Amino acid sequence: MKLQDFIRDIPDFPKPGILFKDITPLLADHQALVSCADQLAALCPNEVKIDKVVGIESRGFIIGAMIAERLGAGFIPVRKKGKLPYRVNSKSYSLEYGKDTLEIHTDAINPGENVVIHDDVLATGGTAKAVCDLVVASGGVVVQCNFIMELNFLKGRDRLTAPIAVLLNY
Ligand code: AMP
């Protein structure tokens, strides 16, 4: 099974100059979906018990929850500002143009818990860095950040201090 066959390139989405990596064909294929989650779960550190998998809104929720199920961990959503109903910790970060804010529930992670962070794409790394900061501020230990794919030319991994695992490189 070649997972890259299930990633669709969409030029100029959501704005001119961006080549969007569309994972919906992968999600739509049962074998590809299961294989993707199995492979990422297998790459997670097995020398420590993973307590929580944090998925980043919104595409990180799907495979993130499947990884959590495979690891016997809980799943924690990190969402855009204003979406979570309970008390939150927030982190603002710079985008190419402007700023964005991500939030996590204050009771999502217990101090000392081992956390894996998941998103579909590692691009500039700004989003994953902000989520790492939220987890650390909650008292968690980021044992890995994993992604279906990495856009190598954007050098996002240089912004992350935690170990990184990816299935596909572009
Ligand atoms: P980053 O630049 O690493 O902070 O990425 C920002 C967010 O946008 C992440 O959630 C990525 O999954 C997503 N993203 C960035 N670039 C792309 C792309 N070319 N195709 C699909 N998703 C992307």
Rounded average pLDDT per 10-residue block, the chain, 170 residues: 96 95 98 98 97 98 98 98 98 88 98 98 97 98 98 97 98
With 0.85 as the threshold, say if the pTM is over it: yes
Summarised one tens digit per residue, pLDDT across range 1-44 is 899 999 999 999 999 999 999 999 999 999 999 999 999 999 99
Which atom, in ligand 1's list, is nearest to the CA of 122?
3
Residue 21 CA: nearest ligand 1 atom is 20
Amino acid residing at 38? D
Distance CA 142, CA 135 (A): 7
Residue 47 annotated as catalytic: no
Cα(33) to centroid of ligand 1, in Å?
Answer: 19
Helix (H) or strand (E) holding 132: helix 126-137
Q: State whether residue 65 is helix, strand or coil.
A: helix
Phi-psi region of 7 (alpha: psi -120 to 50; beta: other; left: phi over 0): beta
| Marked catalytic residue, from 59, 103, 113, 150 | 59
Helix (H) or strand (E) holding 63: helix 60-71
* Exposure letters 12-45 (e unless 16+ CB within 10 A, then b): eeeeeeeeebebeebbebeebbebbbebbbebbe
Q: Is 59 one of the catalytic residues?
A: yes
